[in-house]
Amino acid sequence: MRKYIIKNRVYWTKEKCQENALKCNTRKDFYKKYLGSYNAAHRNNWLDELCSHMESIKNVVYWTKEKCQEVSFKCENRNQFKKKYRSAYNSAYKNNWLDEICAHMLYESHVSNYYWTKEKCQEIALKCNTRKEFCKKYRSAYDGALRNNWMNDICPHMKICGTLHSRLVYLFEFSDNSVYVGLTYNYNKRYEDHLTTDISSSVYKHIKETGISPDCQKLTEYIDIKKAIELEIYYIRYYKDLGYNVLNKTNGGEYGGGYFKCNYDICKEYAEKYTLKEFRKNKRYAYDKSRKEGWLSDFYGINWKTKNKINILL
């Protein structure tokens, strides 16, 4: 073993070490591919000279203040920020940015109540194409806009989709006198599902059986869900009375989701199982229903508009 070490030290001259170093872009790459020459260079203090052409990872700063701020908008509190984006959190912590970039978050100082001005919410909203994207990517800004009833003012540029409260009624019509009437909260997505991905769809099955391409049209715009349900039932009966082969398996009226199925007692039962934060996270549709109907004050002894008390619970 001793003879091998001596031989190894003699073998790795500075020229040979440099030859291998020039094949690498980083010291990590040099260490991984040519351990013997790396160790020799380190032992003889040649590393700085031989690696001068390499990229210095230490000088590459990925988590800038702007990038840390951007991902922080996706989090509701510092714990979530630390858990989901650990490297960004650490960079913000080391550079003393945390207080500034986390000012919108829900935590004990309640700064979040005043951070999301209408102008800041609008700045964030302009980065999104739909309200769903706005809610998913920048939840704290979305909640701030929702709390203050700014959504209609800051989201006019966004594509219109349905919600828990609204649906659009549409019609697929085939040249063999077959039709399908449906309602949806997202017309474009449902259209693609019927034609390509939803193999359980009556439209998809009829296309496969007949080879006929249907025409699709919107019978309404996005309207109140209860009115949309009535119109869906009406159009199914209308086309049946005209003698069309209606592909719907039922007489209509299925709207999906759980919003309208949640009454006071169901929401109260959920509220007894969860804290306010857990209620919002685990049963969002019931939480939204409770907030809209003003039941949160009954369940948790608070008023939705009394922001400080809510933030304490969160």
- Name all domains of the chain by residue range, CATH numbers in brackets: 2-58 (no CATH), 65-154 (no CATH), 166-246 (3.40.1440.10), 264-313 (no CATH)
Are 164 and 285 contacting, i.e. CB atoms less than 8 angstroms apart? Answer: yes
> In whole angstroms, what is the distance from residue 72 CA to residue 107 CA?
14
Q: How far is CA 268 from the centre of its chain?
A: 28
What is the tens place of the pLDDT at every residue in 28-41? 888 888 988 898 88
H or E segment and range at residue 171: strand 166-173
Best CA proximity match to 131, nearest among 169, 165, 101: 165
Exposed, middle or buried: residue 177 (CB in 10 Å: 0-12, 13-18, 19+)?
Answer: exposed
Contacts of 194 (CB under 8 A, 6+ apart): 172, 180, 182, 201, 203, 204, 216
Q: Are 169 and 196 in contact (CB under 8 A)?
A: no
Q: What is the pLDDT of residues 207-260, one digit of tens each?
A: 999 999 999 999 998 888 888 888 999 999 999 999 999 999 888 766 544 445
Per-residue pLDDT of 56-111, as tens digits, reads 555 456 788 888 888 888 887 788 888 888 888 888 888 888 888 887 775 443 44
Contact 181, 235 (CB under 8 A): yes
Task: Report d(CA 285, CA 293) in Å as an integer.
Answer: 12
Q: What is the pLDDT of residues 154-202, one digit of tens each?
A: 888 887 665 657 788 999 999 999 999 998 878 888 888 888 877 778 8
pTM of the model: 0.41
Which of 193, 176, 197, 173 has its CA nearest to residue 184? 193
Determine which helix (DSSP H) or strand (DSSP E) holds 14, and give its type and residue range: helix 14-21
pLDDT at 115 over 90: no
Number of helices (H), then strands (E), in the chain: 22, 5
